[in-house]
Amino acid sequence: MPIHDVGYRRWQGTQSGFGSRWIAITNKGFEIAFRSQWVRRMMFLAWLPAVYFGAALFFFERSFENKQLFNAVAELNQAAEAAEKEVGEFVPTDRSRALRQDATMRTLSRTPLLGGLVALLGGTGSREVFDAITSQDEVRLRRVVWSWFILKFITTPQGFALLLLLGWVAPPMIAKDLRTKAFLLYFSRPLSKFSYILGKLMVLVVLCSVITTLPALILYGCGISLSPNLTPLYATWDLPLRIFLVGMIHSIPASLIALMLSSITTESRYAMFGWYAIWTLGFVTWRILSTAFLAQSQGPGRGRPQFDPLAPLSLEDGGGWVFVSLYDSISIAQSYVMGVVEFDVHTQCACFLLLLISLCCFSIIWRQLSRATLG
């Protein structure tokens, strides 16, 4: 028998509003996710590419400062123009442009990290950087390089890290609740299905943001703060908002897909398998198809076709198949938001597809929860 036992007492405190109850799910979801050593390791490793991209931006700004890049390209252009004048009409314009671009890339490769990074941007990105350099417009060049670097950072290393992380964290999130019938505890409380989904979704969105949006914003912030003057800020002032939106475009549909897979099974390993299958199969299928389409459109004897995910083939040439790959669809939409591609038919389709996928996933989760509650 206790000597003193207050037993049960009334609680009469201030309650939070109904609209903020999902925060408890998000907080606890975070706590549970971070208890996994693998998640902590993945989070750490996911930040490493930021060091590489940060260094590249730093060297770009240095070469920018001493005009080394412009001078080198200007000399190159003058030489190329002189050569073209001598040869006259026999060299076609696009061929000379390609040659000049190759020469510029070689020049850039002498700059530490930068050349490799520009080459990493792929066909469309490299061309954009080349155009910006040849135009000798500092503001434009800065904007193009910063936008492309950050976009590449978010889509390539961070996109891959996000895929791995969501594949590890998301599958058990609803599947376990279904298995342990925890939804009865959730929905018998003043918590709506929408709040539940929002709470779970926010765990994933915030985790995604921590490895995509946050390092990208820090990268941008470091770039600005290490700049000798405020010119980069003038040229790239809207990038933080674009970075945020680009991160959301990736994390919201991806998180909803992951949650949807988690909600249709009580075995989280099936959801995990489905998750990786969706991304891998789509990615591989589109690369095989696009290589075949490119080889067909370029004809025989032209060498290995150059694949450029951000310059998809026209719809007539099979470019519509890009949407079998969720990764590439997201990349197209992200490129538009980042301001590096136009709002063309591919971009429209990509945005529509992502919206459709998100809505479908949300409605499937809703239906599964309703069924579970009724059961």
Partner 1 sequence: MPQNPSASTEDANSAAAMRAKLDPQFYSKSQSDRSSKHAAYPLQTVVDLQGLGKKIKAKSILSDVTLQITNRVTGLLGPNGAGKSTLIKILLGLVAATDGTGKLLGLDIRREKLKIRQLVGYTPEDDCYIDGLTGVEMVQMSGQFFGLRGREALRRAHEVLDFCGIKQERYREISGYSTGMRQQVKFASAIVHNPQFLILDEPTTGLDPEERERLLRRVRFLNRQFGIGVMLSTHILPDVQLVCDDVIVLAEGRVRAHQSLASLQDVNRWRLQILEVNSAVALTFSQQLQHSGLRVDDAIDGGWELIVLDDKLWTKDRVVELIWRAAKNANATISCFSAAQESLEAIFLKAIGGTNHAHS
Q: Is 266 in the site for partner 1 (CB under 8 A)?
A: no
Alpha-carbon distances, residue 348 vs 104, 324, 331, 344 (angstroms): 33, 15, 13, 6
3-state secondary structure 159-176: HHHHHHHHHHHCHHHHHH
Q: Is 343 in the site for partner 1 (CB under 8 A)?
A: no
Query: Interaction with partner 1 in 32-61: which residues (CB under 8 A)?
Result: 32, 35
The letter for the amino acid at 61 is E
Nearest to 174 by CA among 268, 36, 276, 279: 268
CB of 194 to partner 1, least distance (A): 11
CA distance 345 to 69: 35
Nearer to partner 1, 32 or 74 (CB): 32
Stretch touching partner 1 by CB under 8 A, among 37-45, 144-152, 181-189, 349-357: 181-189
Nearer to partner 1, 96 or 192 (CB): 192
Instruction: Give me the sign of the Cα torsion angle 301, 303, 309, 311.
Output: negative
Query: Interaction with partner 1 in 189-218: which residues (CB under 8 A)?
Result: 189-192
Which position among 130, 148, 149, 186 is part of the footprint of partner 1 (CB under 8 A)?
Answer: 186
Q: Is 304 in the site for partner 1 (CB under 8 A)?
A: no
Site string for partner 1, 137-176 (x = CB under 8 A): -----------------------------------x---x
Q: Is 179 in the site for partner 1 (CB under 8 A)?
A: yes
Q: Is 374 in the site for partner 1 (CB under 8 A)?
A: yes
Which stretches of the chain are assigned E, i.e. beta strand?
none
CB of 255 to partner 1, least distance (A): 19
Read off the DSSP letter of residue 14: P
Which position among 180, 285, 348, 363 is part of the footprint of partner 1 (CB under 8 A)?
Answer: 180
Query: Across the chain, how many H-helices and E-strands are there?
Result: 18, 0
Q: Is 88 in the site for partner 1 (CB under 8 A)?
A: no
Q: Is 277 in the site for partner 1 (CB under 8 A)?
A: no
Look-up of token digits 């609680």: 11
Instruction: Please list, residue by residue across 119-134, b when 16 or more beta carbons sit within 10 angstroms of its beta carbon and e when fewer do.
Output: ebbbebbbbbbbebbb
Binding residues for partner 1, rule: CB under 8 A, are 1, 5-18, 21, 23-25, 27-28, 32, 35, 172, 176-177, 179-192, 373-374
